[in-house]
Amino acid sequence: MKLIENLTQEKYEQFCQKHKEQSHFLHSYVWGKFQEKERGVIPHYVGYEDDKHNLVAAALLLERKLVLNYTYFYSPRGYVIDYKNKELLKEFTESLKEFAQKRKALFIKIDPDVKLHDLDIEGNIQEENNNEELISYLKSLGYKHLGFNKNFENNQPRYTFRLSLEPTIEEITKAFHPTTKKIINKGNPYNLKLIKNDKETIDNFFETMSQTSDREGIVNHSYKYYKSYYETLHKENMSDLYVVTVDVKKLKETYKDKIKQIEDNIEKMSDEKYKDSEKNANKKQEFINQLNKAKKEYEVIEPIKEKELTLSAILTAKYQNKVWTLHGGNNTLLRELNANYFIYYEIIKDAKKEGYEVIDFFGTTGNPVPENPVYGIHLFKKRLGGEYTEFIGELDLIINKPIYYIYKTLVPIRYKLQKLRYNNKKK
């Protein structure tokens, strides 16, 4: 057995293709090159060969330089390896330690694409399948487990929803939450327009991301980052750009027609022949409520001067058998048009049509309570019917223990100062 320090793209990708159950765009050769370009990290594509020169494990290691020639490595979504093979995991870990020591690394961070245990849709643990033993074994090899965070504190989400695309699109739709199903079954009453893979709409995408960041307090990347991400990955058929817009003039006309129709219904319910029926009185009140709602919504639409408004936008990632809804934002205005449901349904249909097996909605909370600021995001993704998935979390393979703990003490202070500066700039 020996460590191969510089796998070719062909050999690295051929091995990754054989491990479909662990396929992840964060493992890809392209992702390493993109991170080198945008983040200044150094990608290393390492492999582990058996005595017959067959690869049995591989990893993308992103090297980030620190002060005094120290460094650390991050393997996004962990190694491509059989985590059940304890001997192989131990040998690969020892080889990586030697690799890292030669480069003055403090640690190697991993966050494996391995479920901690099965959950039902409400987040209740199903005890028959869990990987707590794997965490214990990794700790025995020198990895430090960084805890079971509930939100988005780490490099990658520890919770997500993953939807199987194996059923027919009719079966997938049928499994949606009733609220989602009702919205989807209405079709496209507001004539929303879907634009796919028009590079000019990256501006529209960035606008929705900026609004979402300001509204929900989430971190937003730069315009340059998103543009480079799309151009780099789309060229390799690893990303699609979806943008949903609405024609404001036609929307106003639609609402005027809607209001007129409801008013006609109310007038009809006011006829003498309807007055004595309790059922019809309730129906009339229902129409009145609809009218008030429609007029309130129109009050928001009426002042809009733009000819066309971007409502929702998503950048996906695609790799091997999966699609991820990686970056997405929604306009603060006109949320009631449900453009987010429309765009997700189109992505699901496209992924199914293109032969992908799983769609990952890339991140949710492990604390799904109404008080949680991201509860709305969780509820939306939950209603799409995927499997609620919890990963084992982040682990650091500590290489230089004394300096590692100094680094871990100083970094949170640095992040707090950066966040303070960021918040001050926004004021």
In a domain, 90, yes or no: yes
Mean predicted confidence (pLDDT) in 172-184: 96
- Hey, what are 14's tokens? 């051929």
In a domain, 147, yes or no: no
For residues 362 and 380, give the distance between their C-alpha atoms in angstroms, rounded to a whole number: 13
What does the pLDDT look like over 352-364, one tens digit per residue?
Answer: 999 999 999 999 9
For residues 316 and 307, give the distance between their C-alpha atoms in angstroms, rounded to a whole number: 27
In a domain, 122, yes or no: no
In a domain, 196, yes or no: yes
For residues 133 and 124, give the distance between their C-alpha atoms in angstroms, rounded to a whole number: 19
Q: Do 238 and 338 reside in the same domain of the chain?
A: yes
In a domain, 319, yes or no: yes
Find how far residue 216's CA is from the centre of its chain: 15
Q: Do 93 and 167 reside in the same domain of the chain?
A: no
In a domain, 190, yes or no: yes
Q: Domain boundary at 267, 301, 335, which?
A: 301
Count of positions (residues) in the chain:
427
The DSSP symbol for 176 reads: S
For residues 139 and 418, give the distance between their C-alpha atoms in angstroms, rounded to a whole number: 32
The DSSP symbol for 335 reads: G
Burial of 170 (0-12, 13-18, 19+ CB in 10 A): exposed
- Hey, what are 308's tokens? 């066309």
C-alpha dist (Å) from residue 195 to 312, 341, 346, 347, 365: 11, 15, 11, 12, 30
3-state class (DSSP) for residue 165: coil
Number of H helices, E strands in the chain: 13, 16
Looking at 273-374, list the stretches that DSSP marks H as alpha helix, in order from N- to C-terminal side.
278-301, 339-353
Strands 115-119 and 387-391: antiparallel
Res 272 pLDDT > 90: no
Q: Do 355 and 277 reside in the same domain of the chain?
A: no
In a domain, 139, yes or no: no
pLDDT of 421 reads 59
- For the chain, the average pLDDT equals 92
Q: Among candidates 201, 188, 152, 216, which has minimal Cα distance to 376?
A: 216
Res 277 pLDDT > 80: no
The pTM of this model reads: 0.92
Q: Which domain holds residue 34?
A: 2-112+393-426
In a domain, 262, yes or no: yes
Q: Do 8 and 88 reside in the same domain of the chain?
A: yes
For tokens 């694409």, name the residue. Answer: 113
3-state class (DSSP) for residue 5: coil
Count of domains for the chain:
3
What does the pLDDT look like over 32-89, one tens digit per residue?
Answer: 999 999 999 999 999 999 988 899 999 999 999 998 999 999 999 999 999 999 999 9
User: How many other C-beta atoms can be found within 10 angstroms of the C-beta atom of residue 420?
Assistant: 10
For residues 9 and 264, give the distance between their C-alpha atoms in angstroms, rounded to a whole number: 66
